[in-house]
Amino acid sequence: MSNLKGLGVALVTPFNEDLSVDFDSLTKLVEFNITNGTNYLVVLGTTAEAATLSTEEKNEVVQHIIKINNKRLPLVLGIGGNNTMEVKKQIEETDLSDFEAILSVSPYYNRPNQEGLYQHYKVLAATGKKIIIYNVPSRTGQNIEASTTVRLAKEFPNLFLIKEAAPNINQYFDILRQKPEGFNLVSGDDEFTLPVTLAGGNGVISVIGQAYPKEFSTMVQLAFEGKVKEAYEIHNKLVEITRLIFAEGNPAGIKTILAEMGILKNVVRLPLVVATDGLQEKIKAEMAKI
């Protein structure tokens, strides 16, 4: 699974003004990333507004991306939830022949303790599928502690990677220091990408990267090569816009950028709303600087 290394991007789902899925813009987005250095694509993650897509729409988005990608980049599919047995069933019943792995977010809303989180992923590991653990406490309300991640990594080889998005960068470093051989970590926080990669991480699953794939993938590659000064030049160039896109929630910010680039329309589905005029102006001003 070493091909899931470098810049992975969590693709947005473009919409038309009538809120239907905009497949033409989705084609443009996928092609833009393939031709500009993205290393792999993540389908139906949080950034895709997957929670607002019907089952039929999810299937259509998945099949469209598979078709457009045409095996050019590795694909990862988001399948997660807070009903452990339902997630397990969905993983078992989904055709994963076109996907390298599943990205499965930790259970949200229920707020299980560390043992509950361990048992949840133990059940998912029993499917035998390659699964990426996804820890994002800001969305789930519960943190997977480093000790729990390392415990899972040591016991279940098919839990081979974690997308770590805890707000405490020390947790990233604890996992990298304690993990068993063969288990890897990618940053789930765009701003932490460079220090985490330099510390031994496998790169990032990024939001901002789908708008600036050439720059972001170059930064990650420079980090792999130990070219710290050159990598930080790119980091510093993009750090302000990275912060701006999350100021009013994701993917409102990134869709503002992609709309300004002419890749898609600036449309999100409720309960999300588009970025305020003030934030959009700040984003556009920062884009002009870049």
The per-residue pLDDT for 216 is 98
Average pLDDT, the chain: 97
Task: Please give the DSSP secondary-structure letter assigned to residue 15.
Answer: B
The per-residue pLDDT for 247 is 98
Would you say residue 1 has pLDDT above 60?
A: no
Q: Which of 118, 121, 134, 212 is catalytic?
A: 134
Position 234, amino acid: I
Q: Provide mean pLDDT across the span 164-191.
A: 97
- Concerning whether 134 is annotated as a catalytic residue, the answer is yes
Would you say residue 245 has pLDDT above 90?
A: yes
First CA to last CA distance, the chain: 34
The per-residue pLDDT for 2 is 57
Q: Which of 5, 88, 163, 255 is catalytic?
A: 163
Would you say residue 3 has pLDDT above 90?
A: no
Q: For the segment 212-221, what is each residue's pLDDT rounded down to a tens digit? A: 999 999 999 9
Rounded Cα–Cα distance for residues 108 and 186 (Å):
21
Would you say residue 289 has pLDDT above 50?
A: yes
- Concerning whether 163 is annotated as a catalytic residue, the answer is yes
H or E stretch at 6: strand 6-10
Beta carbons of 14 and 26 less than 8 angstroms apart: yes
Rounded Cα–Cα distance for residues 200 and 219 (Å):
14
**Model-wide pTM > 0.95:** yes
Which distant-in-sequence residues (6+ apart) come within 8 Å of 129 by Cβ? 91, 96, 101, 102, 158
Torsion of CA 269, 93, 79, 219, to 10 degrees: -110
Q: For the segment 118-136, what is each residue's pLDDT rounded down to a tens digit? A: 999 999 999 999 999 999 9
Q: For the segment 96-107, what is each residue's pLDDT rounded down to a tens digit? A: 999 999 999 999
Would you say residue 30 has pLDDT above 60?
A: yes
From the CA atom positions of the chain, what is the Rg in Å? Answer: 18
